[in-house]
Structure 1
Amino acid sequence: MADELLAHVLRKEKTGTSSLHLLYEQGFEEEKLPEVGDYSVLLDGNDQAQAIICTRVVDILPYSQISEVHGYLEGEGDRTLQYWRNVHQPFFEQELQVYGLPFSEDMLIVYELFELVFQKSAQKKR
């Protein structure tokens, strides 16, 4: 999945990502809550650095208030809100299950809008 999501970012189709606020709040996430101006290194499926993104906007809102725009900016599938929900709800449920927590549409989502600021160039063949 890392390679697939990375490809969307490199094609500039994916400029947004989302995560569960509760996991940051409870200390389950190993990273801090994202902030505007943060830089992140994107790894491929082999854990090799391929790109750097910079967070431009952070929205914290209930799952039920994720909009068509958020779904579109995630850049996956047909880029609709329905696709976003069909993929993210099971993913969030699986993440929460690890901690024995239930999913709710009132749960807060951390939505990051980011910009691709560096991309590793393809190796030239000799």
Structure 2
Amino acid sequence: MRLTSIFLFLMLICCKSETKNHQDTKIAVESMWTSFKKAHPEAQEEQPESYFFHDNKEDADRLAKLILDGKKKAGSGLYMWYKEAKAPLPEVGTEIIVTNFEGIPQAIIETTKVDTIPFNKVSSSYAQMDMGTEIDALNKWKKAHWDFFANAMEESGEQPTETMLIVCERFKTIWPEKN
């Protein structure tokens, strides 16, 4: 009985700390949006979605930093994900609050262009914008995205192909503003 009480107490503390952490990140996101709106009253009223790029802390935090540094200006997703989720493709003008892996807001981006093209037709210039580097960008983009998509598709029994459609989204960082 005593062990059960201790377990329940520890579980309650963990849940409270997770809730507090979630609440803290929510407040931080709202605060960033409020600051942006004060500087740009013409911006949309509704707070945009917030999320991080990638599926792990190291990459999510690295990509957020590349966005902050003005090096990453694009993101790529599988067209089949949108189709399966019956979700609309990104639209020009859409704003997104980019967070680090913990959900702390880092930047606000705005979509400037969206193309859907086969994997094997991705250009070197697009790869540079997505990877945030000019050094061997296309080869790095192909390897990183092939591996990422293969891993994600494995769950549904699918395998990547050279002709799979990629949603190529270009964006600009609109907050924080660079002088």
TM-score range, shorter chain: 0.7 to 0.9
Partner Cα distance (1:27, 1:54) in 2: 22
Of 74-83 and 36-45, deviating more is: 74-83
Deviation of 1:79 after TM superposition, in Å, equals 5.2
Question: How many pairs does the alignment contain?
Answer: 118
Question: TM (normalized to structure 1)?
Answer: 0.87
* Residue type at the aligned position of 1:118: W
Q: Percent identity?
A: 30
Unaligned runs of 5+ in 1: 121-126
Determine which of 128, 140, 144 is the counterpart of 1:87.
144
Name stretches of at least 5 consecutive residues in structure 2 with no aligned partner: 1-58
2:131, 2:141 within 8 Å by CA — same for their partners in 1?
A: no
Equivalent pair of 1:42/1:51 in contact (CA under 8 Å): yes
Mapped partners of 1:2, 1:51: distance in 2: 13
Letter in 1 for 2:129: L
Q: Distance in 1 between matches of 2:72 and 2:132?
A: 7
Give deviations 1:56-104, integer Å, cap 9, x for gaps: 0001000010010111111346351011111110101011111111211
TM-score normalised according to structure 2 size: 0.62
Structure 2 residue 96 is matched with structure 1 residue 40:
yes
Q: 2:109 aligns with which of 29, 53, 58?
A: 53
1:113 corresponds to which of 149, 152, 170: 170
1:17 is aligned, of 69, 75, 95, to 75
Aligned-partner SS, 1:26? helix
- The structure carrying a bigger strand percent of its residues is 1
Q: Which has the higher helix share?
A: 2
